[in-house]
Structure 1
Amino acid sequence: MRRISFLLALCIFAESIALSQVTSTPTRSGWLFLDEEQPLKDNELDSDIDISLSIIKGVSHYLVSKGIILVVTPVPIKARVYSDKLDAPLSLSANSRYQRALDFFKKNNIFAVDTLAAYRRAQRQSPQNLLYFQLGSHWNTRGSEIAAQATAQVLMKLPQIQEIDKVNVSLRRLPPLKTEDSMMKMIRPESTIPIVDIIEYDNPVDVTINSSDSLLGDAVPSIALVGTSYSEKTWNFPKMLAYYTKRDVLDVSLAGQQIWIPMQKYLSSTEFKEAPPRILVWEVPERYLLYPPGGYRVADTGWLNTLP
């Protein structure tokens, strides 16, 4: 346990240093994109992606051994969803990365949500309604809600979902709210493309869950969500997942700690040991597949081996 705590502290420190080095680049369309979303050249980080996918496979095997179903919700990079706003097309390697991950999950019998397909349908239906912030790095509430809907559709096809008590969940749409999600302070100093710092608004929702309506009154939800800053309360992804499944969701997401640390921390927790979920949803931003444990974003190379 001391070893796990030390590794977690080391990983968090490394992550905080790395985050301070993340930069963004403006495009002539007036949008900002994270530089790390695009490798500098094709196949530059293919081996790192392979490592990340193999670790996700290892986590899936670990959960299956305990009778738990893993469902991965990939979060497509903003540059993929809005590639028409880029000054140059995605590299061949970056362009194929998302589908490569989906193909890997299918081949290895890991349930995965095709979030990008859901986004494409939404864009065709109402192209004027954005899914990501123009100047920010995250999805907005609409993007979060569509991802929650797509994830719920996958969950509702699992036989295990029928064994989980339903709860009463209500959703209320709130007035537009100014967002603080902006990458203006992260622009590369050498950038020569002018960009206007516009005010962006989000359309937040309020989701209320009444767990007391559960027939069996489970103390701990049977669906757990491990996620990143995309699952922060700002965009209500966990509660909207509860709304569209009509099941309570235990949110153990951690912002600013990549994808490996939140998962390691949860699987090593007393909460997981004493009340494991039946279904575990892993919200995985596509760009984090570029940074497996042992890379500059995460210090620990053997954390999966530390799990009980």
Structure 2
Amino acid sequence: MIKNCCVNTWRYAAILFGVFGMVSVHAAESLGFVGKNDWLFLRSELSSPAEAAAYAETISLIGRFNKVLAANGISMVVMMVPVKVRVYAEHLPNNIKLNDYTVGNYERINKALQAAGVTVIDLNTPFLNSPLRNSDSPLFYRLDGHWSLIGAKLAAETFKAGIEANPMLKKALDATPEVAFQMNIGKRKLPTKVRDLMALIPPNSGNFEPERFTPVSVIRAREQNEANRVPSGITVQGSSFSQEWTGFVDALRFVLQRDILNVSVTANIGSWFGMESYLSSDAFQNNAPKMLIWERPEYTMRAPPNFKFQDARYASNNTEWLLRASAWAQPTCKPSTVSAQVMPVGLAANGAHLKDGNIVTGPTSDKEFFELSFDKPLGKNLDFGGFWPRGGNAPIHIEYRWG
């Protein structure tokens, strides 16, 4: 259900501080700043040519990941949320101007993704040209970094139009079951408590009038027994822009008339960890979607998996992320041309530990080992598989010798 909600602004500030490390770039400046007409903005939405290599790395990873999904029958769509500083540039303060790089960044990223074979939905153009942009219900919240209910609905409608214009996406959509949803619009505007940027601007910046928006709700037209519910064929893996409180995924459900699985995560976790978590989950492994929507804020595209300001719990080597994600995305492993043989030493010296060429054993000591011999040289990346008892936590040491 679409609804207004209060975001924990102090937690949001901590997330941005950790994820984007703005203090290292703007040591004497706040994470947010005040514009004209009481509009608030996030400083990390401003980009520069110095970040081009980071953007390119993200684009390359997404392009290669997309090829794996396509080879396994999954249509992925990347949809970037345009930065608020561009959509509402007229409200920027006089001392902050958009540089040419920020002005053209969205189009530049979209073209690069398309060149890499990735299907994208352009939100920047409709957001800049929408007649609702300067209405009394704008596309972004004035005091918050997220799109408003109006912006979320425009994004959903734009996505639907993109599907209708793309035969591949239309085919993927048609392969998913229809579910009737209805949208209910409130009769009057109500105050909203969504104002995450208030915690990021300098102290004593003044008082700001709360915003008012007309509440909207999306519900199933007919109640359905959970036991009889057909698995969804569409998944949104997104950011906080796609969390249920924003109304975006509900708007998608309504315009597409489809049930949608929402596995979006917050900025401190990040898109890469969020995507890998979904791929490894039972939800994906037992029912891979026909269509996977990857929603990402434009400014996070400069943060690949190994982004230095990412929380260490959720960071990863770029290549290793791609290998893991690709492995999870494949229903079956592609057979290797390299053959392995268990050598008759260590555990395998005892015939009781061998079954159909595999080592099968109970509890072992730290001195136990087994040895494999390969008939061809191995590449840099090698995966080992095995089964260990639940609750086991002993480290496994692998030694790899040439010759």
2:196 pairs with 1:177: no
Residues 51-70 of structure 1 show CA distances to partners (whole Å, capped at 9, x for unaligned) of 11112212211211211001
State the identity %: 24
Q: CA RMSD in A?
A: 2.5
Asked if the contact 1:176/1:204 (under 8 Å) is kept, the reply is yes
3-state secondary structure, aligned to 1:187: coil
2:265 pairs with 1:249: no
Match of 1:5 in 2: none
Q: Which region of structure 1 is more displaced relative to structure 2, 222-231 or 100-109?
A: 100-109
**Structure 2, unaligned stretches of length 5 or more?**
1-13, 23-30, 328-403
Give the Cα–Cα distance (whole angstroms) in 1 for the partners of residues 122 and 218 of structure 2.
24
How far did 1:181 drift? 2.4
Q: Which region of structure 1 is more displaced relative to structure 2, 195-204 or 233-242?
A: 195-204
C-alpha distance 15-234 of structure 1, shift in aligned 2 (>3 A)? closer
C-alpha distance 261-209 of structure 1, shift in aligned 2 (>3 A)? farther
Match of 2:141 in 1: 133
2:316 pairs with 1:300: yes
3-state secondary structure, aligned to 1:135: coil
Asked if the contact 1:168/1:213 (under 8 Å) is kept, the reply is no
2:152 pairs with 1:144: yes
Asked if the contact 1:24/1:35 (under 8 Å) is kept, the reply is yes
Match of 2:272 in 1: 260
Match of 2:161 in 1: 153
Asked if the contact 2:175/2:290 (under 8 Å) is kept, the reply is no
Match of 2:339 in 1: none
Give the Cα–Cα distance (whole angstroms) in 1 for the partners of residues 181 and 150 of structure 2.
18
C-alpha distance 237-162 of structure 1, shift in aligned 2 (>3 A)? same
Aligned mate of 1:118, from 120, 126, 144: 126
How far did 1:129 drift? 2.9
2:215 pairs with 1:204: yes
The structure having more radius of gyration, on CA atoms, is 2
Aligned mate of 1:239, from 250, 254, 261: 250
Aligned residues: 288
C-alpha distance 127-177 of structure 1, shift in aligned 2 (>3 A)? closer
C-alpha distance 252-125 of structure 1, shift in aligned 2 (>3 A)? closer
Asked if the contact 1:223/1:249 (under 8 Å) is kept, the reply is yes
- After TM superposition, the score normalised by the length of structure 2 is 0.66
Q: Which has the higher contact order (CA 8 A, sep 6+)?
A: 1
2:316 alignment partner AA: D
Give the Cα–Cα distance (whole angstroms) in 2 for the partners of residues 211 and 188 of structure 1.
49
C-alpha distance 274-90 of structure 1, shift in aligned 2 (>3 A)? same
2:34 pairs with 1:26: yes
Asked if the contact 1:26/1:195 (under 8 Å) is kept, the reply is no
Instruction: From the two aligned structures, give the one with the greater helix fraction.
Output: 1
How far did 1:132 drift? 0.5
Match of 2:98 in 1: 90
